[in-house]
């Protein structure tokens, strides 16, 4: 099972908001994490933080394809999504969606069972 919890922070001009506070899925499922933003977004990022570790860049909007990961950005609706195929227990982590030039970050906690 996959659990996600989302928190966010931001400036008064750029706000980053998760679609869901909690998400659950089973191993092998395709999981989509989503954020909505206001203001401008030059670059969009997803970070992953595993237990007792610092956040690591997982994927950015303009990077090469990463195995099992897909990044989608709908500029018109100001939404961006991280799709993880074949969810596994090793994907259990805190996920952050981030937008630049601000330091706005949203946090998603994801536990795969």
Residue percentage of the chain with pLDDT more than 70: 73
Say if 1 falls within a structural domain. no
User: Mean pLDDT over residues 19-28, rounded?
Assistant: 81
- pLDDT computed for residue 33 by the predictor: 93
Number of domains in the chain: 1
Q: If phi over 0 gives left and psi between -120 and 50 gives alpha, with beta otherwise, what is residue 68?
A: left
Q: Would the pTM count as exceeding 0.85?
A: no
- pLDDT computed for residue 9 by the predictor: 42
Closest CA to 43 of 107, 103, 110, 108: 103
Per-residue CA distances from 109 to 26, 33, 39 (Å): 15, 10, 25
Say if 82 falls within a structural domain. yes
Say if 91 falls within a structural domain. yes
Say if 39 falls within a structural domain. yes
Per the structure, the complete domain to which residue 83 belongs is given by 6-110
Say if 106 falls within a structural domain. yes
| All residues at 6 or more sequence positions from 55 whose CB lies less than 8 Å from its CB, including other chains | 47, 48, 49, 94, 96
pLDDT top residue among 90 and 6: 90
- pLDDT computed for residue 28 by the predictor: 95
CATH number at 81 reads: 2.60.40.10
> pLDDT digit string (tens) for 33-51?
999 998 887 788 888 888 8
């Amino acid at each position: 099972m996959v659990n996600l919890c989302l928190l966010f922070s931001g400036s008064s001009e750029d706000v980053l908001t998760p679609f869901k506070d909690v998400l659950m899925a089973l191993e092998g499922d395709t999981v989509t994490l989503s954020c909505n933003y206001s203001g401008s977004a030059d670059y969009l990022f997803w970070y992953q933080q595993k237990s007792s570790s610092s956040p690591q860049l997982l994927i950015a909007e303009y990077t090469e394809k990463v195995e099992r990961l897909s990044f989608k950005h709908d500029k018109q609706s100001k939404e961006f999504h991280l799709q993880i195929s074949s969810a596994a227990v090793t994907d259990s982590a805190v996920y952050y969606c981030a937008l630049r030039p601000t330091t706005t970050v949203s946090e998603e906690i994801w536990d795969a069972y």
